[in-house]
Amino acid sequence: MTTTVPEGLSVALHQHAKGVAVVTAGLAAPVGFCATSLAPVSLDPPLLSFAINTESASWPVIETAEHVSVNLLADDQEDVARAFSRPGAEKFGPATRWYRDSAGLPALRGVLCRWRIAPLERVRVGRHALVVGLVVAVERGFPAKSPLVHFDGRYGRLSAD
């Protein structure tokens, strides 16, 4: 069966299991979005990358932020992922368990781990920007939990088997 490249890519990416993170920023008003594009770039120097839609309400803050927080979600945080996936949703409302970390960034509670990164590159690619950042701090949360995974349009968890 032959499909167009965009259709074929979309179908194939649905078969790619991805970890789920929420990227947060904003020293004044907090912003955040759900990212399944998180990828390690290098251990030396320690670099992470993620992509963001430049039409997102979070982009103006991410575009100029000196630091952002990358919160790796646990498998019991699907509600958090869904809240941060919706445009225009009240992401930092009463139902979201968050606080300001030592750098003043919005940080989510109950995550597997959190990285504070200093963006080094913001490369516009189509309607998105690829952000590559230097990891400047690491906070381990609940490493005994399992990660939240996104696969075929659904959230799930890894099997212990």
CATH number of the domain residue 136 falls in? 2.30.110.10
Residue 110 pLDDT grade (very low, low, confident, very high; cuts 50, 70, 90): very high
In the chain, the number of structural domains is 1
pLDDT for position 159: 67
> What is the distance, to the nearest Å, from the Cα of residue 116 to the centroid of all Cα atoms in its chain?
12
- Is 139 part of any domain? yes
Residue 158 pLDDT grade (very low, low, confident, very high; cuts 50, 70, 90): confident
pLDDT at 53 over 60: yes
pLDDT for position 18: 79
Give Dmax over CA atoms of the chain in angstroms: 54
Tens of pLDDT, residues 80-105: 999 999 987 789 988 899 999 999 99
pLDDT for position 16: 62
Backbone angles phi, psi at 102, to 5 degrees: -65, -20
pLDDT average, residue stretch 30-55: 96
- Is 115 part of any domain? yes
- Is 34 part of any domain? yes
- Is 43 part of any domain? yes
- Is 10 part of any domain? no
pLDDT for position 13: 62
pLDDT for position 2: 67
Q: Which helix (H) or strand (E) holds 97?
A: none
Contact status, residue 32 vs residue 83, Cβ threshold 8 Å? no
Q: How far apart are CA 80 and CA 68, in angstroms?
A: 18
Residue-averaged pLDDT of the chain? 90
- Is 124 part of any domain? yes
Domain span including residue 59: 15-153
pLDDT for position 82: 94
- Is 3 part of any domain? no
pLDDT average, residue stretch 25-42: 96
pLDDT average, residue stretch 127-143: 94
- pTM passes above 0.85: yes
